[in-house]
């Protein structure tokens, strides 16, 4: 367990004691850690840098050594905002609820997967979208949203481009436009399907 996980698990548990962060709700902690990492990378201008992960760890350790109380207060405040966003943006689907509605989207995402894997600089593209999400006030599920926005655009427009360069320029421009629209929307953006059996076993 890394430094961010330790800090976040404590704050998440304080704000929602029902969370089983090292059991059934482990994914919540993982997403929160990724979101905090992305947020700090944007805040400290580390997006797009080669060694951004190492720099981030150094900056966090430095922050913790200089002023542990301030870092703790920041993480506490950020966690409160993140949990509020989580309740707005994440919806649990039980069993086959709304399955027809998501079939088309799932098909597009699946069609885009091979194209996505072939993109030479997908990490950088994803970081550009993450940056735009965070700068527009979206701090929950940023990695998931960025990847899916790019994949949706790839899947919907896969035959539109003649060259790889044209594809990437259009992909980024169209995805960033959709990203800004998305951040102005209300309601859920991430849907998590849960097997009905989960509730029977609890």
Q: Does the pLDDT value for residue 201 go beyond 50?
A: no
What ranges in the chain are assigned the alpha helix state H? 3-15, 26-43, 52-66, 68-89, 99-118, 122-135, 142-156, 164-183, 196-201
Read off the pLDDT band of 97 (50, 70, 90): low
pLDDT tens digits, one per residue of 25-42: 899 999 999 999 999 999
Round the average pLDDT of the chain to a whole number and report it. 87
**Domain ranges for the chain:** 3-92, 97-198
């Amino acid at each position: 367990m890394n430094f961010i996980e330790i800090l976040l698990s404590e704050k998440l548990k304080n704000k929602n004691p029902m969370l089983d962060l090292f059991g059934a709700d482990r994914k919540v902690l993982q997403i929160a850690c990724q979101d905090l990492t992305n947020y700090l990378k944007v805040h400290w201008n580390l997006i797009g840098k080669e060694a951004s992960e190492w720099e981030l760890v150094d900056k966090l350790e430095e922050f913790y050594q200089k002023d542990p109380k301030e870092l703790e207060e920041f993480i506490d405040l950020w966690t409160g905002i993140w949990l509020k966003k989580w309740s707005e943006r994440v919806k649990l689907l039980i069993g086959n609820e709304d399955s027809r509605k998501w079939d088309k989207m799932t098909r597009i995402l699946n069609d885009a997967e091979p194209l996505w894997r072939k993109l030479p600089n997908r990490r950088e593209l994803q970081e550009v979208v993450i940056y735009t999400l965070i700068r527009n006030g979206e701090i929950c599920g940023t990695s998931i949203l960025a990847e899916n926005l790019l994949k949706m655009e790839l899947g919907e427009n896969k035959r539109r481009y003649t060259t790889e360069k044209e594809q990437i320029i259009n992909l980024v421009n169209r995805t960033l436009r959709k990203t800004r629209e998305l951040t102005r929307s209300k309601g859920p953006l991430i849907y998590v399907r849960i097997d009905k059996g989960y509730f029977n076993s609890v």
